[in-house]
Chain A
Amino acid sequence: MKKYLAVALGILTAIGGFVDIGDLVTNAVVGARFGLSLAWVVVVGVIGIVLYAYMAGKVVALSGRATFEIIRERLGARAALMNLGASFLMTLLTLTAEIGGIALTLQLLTGIVPLAWIVVATLAVWLVIWLVKFTWMENAAGLLGLTLIVFVVSFFVLGPDWGDTVDQITQQYPHPGEHPLTYWFYVVALFGAAMTPYEVFFFSSGAVEERWGRQDLMLARLNVGIGFPLGGLLSLGIAGSAFLVWSPEKVDVSSLSQVVLPVGEALGTIGLALVLIGVLAATMGAALETALSCGYTLAQYAGWPWGKWHRPAKAPQFHVTIIVCLLIACGVLATGVDPIMVTEFSVVFSAVALPLTYAPILVVANDPEYVGEETNGPVLNALALVYLVIIVVAAVAAIPLMVLTGLGS
């Protein structure tokens, strides 16, 4: 019975923890402009993250070591440094966006300007990392994040025209007033938001924190195979609700209040309260994950002791890295930069960093030295290679599309 509960809890936290500020903003922006035309990108992105997170989880379960440690050992310090550089900077940018997201949510809850909340949010993230047990931290954020299901409920309550919804999903062109390149820019942004690099590093390092072994392989399969796709449904709920409320009003989503207002429109004050709890949990959870991931990646590359299971005095570089990253994120936001703008940049640059993050995972997941006889089968390898091609195309196209379309404007 305890085992089944653990599986259920893992799946629920995977659903609730799937969405972060990048998913919230990008899906609402895309939904208001393109309806559900880009739902296919969410599906493609979810399958990709399922594949690669599963491979990362498998490596941990079978070798007992986190992906980044093995990447350095397997590829050498120089190649791993490129991987580290891209992933670390992207994760730091995402951490900045998440802390900005917490501050914006607290503004919506209290009416007090977000600048005042940035220090509070940063301090809260550090205190949780310092004081709260890993499992408690992960489960609380994931379970509270489940309240984001109100986006899906709102979509149904708002009463979509089902014929129009099917048309949006099946017919990609034309979009009146939108250039095809803008459409492709958002395809890449949405893909980047779904496959954010920190997710696999956190998943892999978190599995080490939770002492996964061979017996946990099934848990890994269920967490990513059921939890992530259901998390993807939340993304579609965000896009669908944004379309139904904002498109008729000719509104382009550019703030967090516009992301949550469709739920208030559909479900009133209770819905608004639930969605704000969900957004706060999602951004807080992702801020914790990204802050930890900054520490994980650098410590694993450098060979320092790492992990929350160590007392801070036993892993000082790991904890100092986290503190420095939090201070950088706080400093960037204190300049008054728009957190939504940071989020938009973070999802685009995530797409750029994807090949450097995901290609080494595929190499390691095929190395018998680490996974024994459980190397990828031909079907998994074929799918992973197809995704690697998609990832490379998205990475190459991301910056030109961003410049050509003026960040999708």
Chain B
Amino acid sequence: MRAALVVALVVGLAACGITTPPLERAAGDATSATGSAALALRGLDDGDLTSAVAETTIEDAVTTASKAAREVAAYPAKNTREKQLQEQAVAAIADAVKDLHRARDGVRQPAQRASLVDRLTADRDRLDELTTKAGSL
């Protein structure tokens, strides 16, 4: 009886939860991952230690952004506006994931870093804009 009450309480609380809507959350996660990778790459010098930290950060960012891409793609859009935003988000996250893969490969290639940082920063700004739009749906 007590266990049933606890389960009912947890389910009830979850049902009236205040968690962020899925589209906004996924876009926000991708924004955060891309921003994090941009900063890790920007602050990089040529030491092995900083390279290892940057590689780990970018690897985490790839995982987070890829998960966000799957979540956005699987989101059941309820109307045309949501559908449009979903398509834009799918495209933006796909671009970000591509750039994150390039960034991972570019950690130990100093000549490419500046342009990769610019690309990731642009990805982040684009995703941030979409996150704001998703929040206002």
Contacts and interface: CB of A to CB of B under 8 A. Distances in A.
Interface residues of A, number: 35
A134 to B, nearest CB: 32
B49 to A, nearest CB: 6
A181 B13 CA distance: 13
Instruction: From A181, A245, A254, name the one whose CB has the most chain B CB atoms within 10 angstroms.
Output: A254
A249 B124 contact: yes
A404 B32 contact: no
A409 interface: yes
A141 B57 CA distance: 26
B45 interface: yes
Contacts, number: 96
Contact of A272 (B20, B39, B50, B60): B50
A258 B19 contact: no
Interface string B2-23: 0000000110011011111000
A268 interface: yes
Interface string A266-307: 001100110010000000000000000000000000000000
Interface string B24-40: 01001101100110111
Contact of A269 (B9, B39, B49, B128): B49
B27 to A, nearest CB: 11
B28 A264 contact: no
Given A108-B56, A250-B35, A251-B35, A261 B124 contact: no
Contact of B39 (A249, A260, A403): A249
B19 A250 contact: no
A90 B128 CA distance: 38
B18 A257 contact: no
Given A108-B52, A257-B40, A257-B60, A409 B25 contact: yes
B35 A272 contact: no
A213 to B, nearest CB: 46
Interface size, B (range): 35 or more
A264 B16 CA distance: 41
B49 A409 contact: no
Interface in A386-409: 399-400, 403-406, 409
Given A269-B45, A404-B13, A250 B32 contact: yes
Interface in A193-208: none
B57 A406 contact: no
B43 A257 contact: no
A277 to B, nearest CB: 11
B45 A109 contact: no
Nearest to B12: A403
A261 B49 CA distance: 12
B100 to A, nearest CB: 14
Instruction: From A254, A260, A273, A403, name the one whose CB has the most chain B CB atoms within 10 angstroms.
Output: A403
Contacts of B53: 108, 257, 260-261, 264, 272, 276
Nearest to B18: A179
A25 B132 CA distance: 26
Given A111-B55, A404-B18, A250 B43 contact: no
A135 interface: no
B17 A404 contact: yes
B52 A251 contact: no
Contact of B18 (A109, A181, A245, A254): A181
Contacts of A406: 17, 19-20
Given A269-B47, A269-B50, A404-B13, A261 B39 contact: yes
Contacts of B20: 406, 409
A400 B35 CA distance: 31
A261 B43 CA distance: 9
B50 to A, nearest CB: 6
Contacts of B51: 111
A257 B53 CA distance: 6
A211 B36 CA distance: 48
A405 B19 CA distance: 5
A188 to B, nearest CB: 15
The 10 closest A-B pairs by CB, nearest first: A406-B19, A249-B35, A111-B52, A403-B13, A257-B57, A251-B35, A269-B47, A255-B60, A252-B32, A251-B32
Interface of B: 9-10, 13-14, 16-20, 25, 28-29, 31-32, 35-36, 38-40, 43, 45, 47, 49-53, 55-57, 60, 64, 124, 128, 135
Given A249-B35, A265-B39, 20 more contacts: A108-B52, A177-B135, A181-B18, A246-B36, A249-B36, A255-B36, A257-B60, A258-B57, A261-B40, A261-B57, A264-B50, A269-B45, A269-B47, A272-B53, A273-B49, A404-B19, A405-B17, A405-B18, A405-B19, A409-B25
11 contacts: A108-B56, A249-B39, A250-B32, A258-B60, A264-B50, A269-B45, A269-B47, A272-B49, A276-B49, A406-B19, A409-B25
